[in-house]
Amino acid sequence: MKIMVTGANGQLGQELVKQVNASEYELFAFTKTALDITNMDQVNAVCEEIQPHIIINAAAYTNVDGAETNEELAFQVNAIGQRNLAVAAEKVGAKICYISTDYVFNGQATAPYSEYMHVDPLGVYGQSKYAGELLTQTLSTKYFIVRTAWVYGEYGSNFVKTMLKLAEDKSELGVVHDQVGSPTYTVDLAEFLIELVQTEKYGIYHCTNSGTCSWYEFAQEIFKLAKKDIQVNPLTSDQFPRPAKRPAYSVLGDLSLRMNGYSVRRHWKEALREYINNISS
């Protein structure tokens, strides 16, 4: 079986490449420089040549604040790029998997968002990802849309690495306490994606590690596991203004996971402990 992965040098993309390489599947990995997914002719030519059975699109414009001033670029990558891949996949009869985000929701809920609840993105990033979802549903007959949140892993930059870096020369810092979600370790997310795309259980899924926390609580656990002696102070979002508004509550429910017979991912604290141990050693 041929699996094509785009965004292969990204945080999730590198983990997918690692895990697919360790499987019996034939991997075709493309970085941004090797394949411009916003170029329809290029995407069609590559898919025509490879004839993949599965395409996992891990390429994305993920700069949430930057998207507010780079709207066209965000939509170009997150919507048009996905459209191009969906069209090409349909031509060669491939399944397609689109990685989406908790930012498609407005964060005003008080209970976890199910996969089929009303979406209402607050900013350009979430709007562009939702556009990618709509195009996927419209253009593909064999699609998986997997929304995730608060992703971190061995590769690339992320919140955990940022906190550990700050701890090197600070004894005290403030972290937002009024935004709640579920951290997601790329190892667990990639495992689920590879398991899912082998099936015909098409549709929308939410995949994060289980359990919830605020960014403040996440930071506290990071420092505790990394044995860093640092004072963490809770901030409100108003005290830490950003160009793009963040959803206050973006916990993703796992209705589709459970209905389709998949196990819920391990607790975020357990996953974080493994991650900290891995990067420490």
- Contacts of residue 101, defined as CB under 8 A and 6 or more positions apart, other chains included, come to 125, 126, 129, 147, 148, 149
- Contacts of residue 89, defined as CB under 8 A and 6 or more positions apart, other chains included, come to 47, 52, 55, 95, 96, 140, 142
Which of 37, 29, 31 is closest to 2 using CA atoms? 29
Annotated active-site residue 249? The verdict is no
Catalytic residue among 125, 143, 185, 205: 125
Is the separation of the CB atoms in 84 and 35 below 8 Å? no
Which of 251, 255, 236 is closest to 109 using CA atoms? 251
Annotated active-site positions, please? 125
